[in-house]
Amino acid sequence: MQPASLGAWLLVTVGIPCALSSDLPLPKDISVQRSAAGTTLLDSGGRVLYTYARDAVRDVSSCVAECAKLWPPLPAHSTASPAADWVVITRPDGTHQWSFRGKPLYTFAKDSAPRIALGDRVGQAWSVAHIPLRTPPGIALRSIHLGRTLVEARGLTLYWHEDEVPKSGRVAKLRCVEECLREFQPLPAPLLANAVGEFSPLDREDGPRQWTYRGRPLYLHVGDLRPGDSTGQSVERKEWRAAVLEPAAPLPAWLTIQRADMGEVYADARGFTLYTFAGSFERVRTLICNDECIRRNWRLVPAAANARPSGEWTLVESPLGDGARVWAYKGDALYTHTRDREPGAVGGDKWAAGSGGAGGGWNPLVRRRDYEQ
């Protein structure tokens, strides 16, 4: 069982505008979980809800047939009483589904427990139904490798100083002055800016107005060049932290990150690249490579008896049916390739591709720093 928090932690903001007020009426089939970063929609049992990028027409679901088996629509009774922003839509098969602000809602079949969100970013089309906190123009939330983080207009990470925390309602004493400002630049606030939610402008004596979050001054780091960069947070700069409102779940202790031709990849403790399989596993076993062949070319990643899941890194039963418990990512078993001879090698890339359908076969697990590109 995972901790009672959103297991995927990287909950990408979907196209649902404005924050969900605490007094917004909710249908009885819906619950929510609130955090510093905003509100996540759940069903009545606490299962995370999702939206589908290909639902391009308002209040119309395009996830049918096989898609709906993996992504069950959130059912609604035809006699349900819609609340503000909620609509009961009729699906092609005649059943009814909840839609919120024009976006039909779904659960994910691989989410094994409440508040687990393994479906986030699957196929670059599925997103957790999350409504972000209210921010001023030029400040937003972005899902990066550190978690859900405050960023500026270009998507660059924002930071705060560990010692610039207001106490007893007083304004925080500025620690980043003079030489420090060469490396960390205050996030400028417009001259006529007013407070917006948890954000307020601060009048610095040594420069322009600066945005603060809950009284903590916000900064940019000169070393960050693109969304997902976090050069301002390092072992050498213990006093600086990215402005993370929902931190990432910790990676399993055995996991490593290696450089490969395709960028950074996740790897096991020895540095060997991790792969997941996409497509029809049974088709590959039957037509391309039987179990003996698979074992000759692929090794499942075994889980220790005391192993515990963390975020998107979960435990599943071996797909080879031998009863072993193995590690998985987003519910898909992890493998290493027996022909990879050195850390970062990706010799198993696209192995058996096409045999399991479009995009099938084994694929290296590439690490992304920015989850919204």
pLDDT digits (tens, 9 = 90+) for 10-46: 333 344 444 444 456 788 889 999 999 999 999 999 9
Q: What is the mean pLDDT of the chain?
A: 88
Q: Which of 197, 232, 231 is nearest to 215 (CA)?
A: 197
Query: CA-to-CA distance for 221 and 371, rounded, in angstroms?
Result: 20
Q: Give me the mean pLDDT over the 192-214 stretch.
A: 93
Structure tokens at 332: 């898909």
Query: CA-to-CA distance for 8 and 118, rounded, in angstroms?
Result: 6
Residue 187: pLDDT band with limits 50, 70, 90: very high
Residue 6: pLDDT band with limits 50, 70, 90: very low
Instruction: Kindly write down the DSSP assignment for every residue of 143-197, as one continuous string.
Output: EETTEEEEEETT-PBPEEETT----TTPPPPP---GGGGGTEEE-B--TT---BT
Cα-to-chain-centroid distance, residue 240: 23
Amino acid occupying residue 211: W
DSSP code at position 249: P
| Percentage of the chain modeled with pLDDT above 90 | 72
Query: CA-to-CA distance for 119 and 114, rounded, in angstroms?
Result: 13
Query: CA-to-CA distance for 84 and 169, rounded, in angstroms?
Result: 36
- Does residue 17 or residue 363 have the better pLDDT? 363
The per-residue pLDDT for range 316-349, each reduced to its tens digit, is 999 998 889 999 999 999 999 999 999 999 999 9
